[in-house]
Each structure stands twice: as structure tokens, then as C-alpha cells.
Amino acid sequence: MTMITPSYLGDTIEYSSLHACRSTLEDPRVPSSNSPYSESYYNSLAVVLQRRDWENPGVTQLNRLAAHPPFASWRNSEEARTDRPSQQLRSLNGEWTRPVAAH
């Protein structure tokens, strides 16, 4: 059994060779199995490549946002039927001018 004392915790955490007993205050430099920095996280690409999800037509919802209505509105039913953009809609494409102020 190995006893270590992380300097920032002040508590002693026991680690046995058979089972790692973790404190509720874990050392962030030692990744746990649930951590996004764990070894299994880095090996996940290998898992995806083995599953070959791109060849399965039933897999359509991985890494995809849920469907939602368009975030656009119209002032009246005529604009909605013709799908003309609202007069209130402004494109952010193009050149921007920034006011320069002396401080």
C-alpha cells in the first residue's frame, strides 16, 4: 500500500496495488476514469474507428444538435408566405468601422 499526501490537500490518500481508494478531493493531476482527461477519453478515437459508425445507416444522431425551428419571424402572413427577410434583419457581413476615441 502506498501513502501519498498531495501538498494542496493536506489529507493522506491511500492507494493499494489492487484497488485505488480515492478521496472526495482528488488530485487534478491524476486523471480519474470519469475525467475528460482520462486515458479512455484519448483512446475514444480508436473505439469510434473500430465501430465504423459511418458505415451504419442507422447511426444518424451522433454529435448532432437537435432540430429546431428557424429563428426568424415575419410581421404579417404575406411576408411569411413569400419568405422575404424582415426589414429588421441586418447582415453582419461586410466591412465594419470602429470609432476611435482618444483616452
Cα 14 to Cα 25, 37, 101: the distances in Å are 13, 22, 61
pLDDT number for residue 91:
78
Q: Model pTM?
A: 0.23
Q: Give the model confidence (pLDDT) of 68-85 as tens digits.
A: 776 777 778 887 788 776
DSSP state letter for 36: T
Residues lower than pLDDT 50 in the chain = 1-2, 4-28
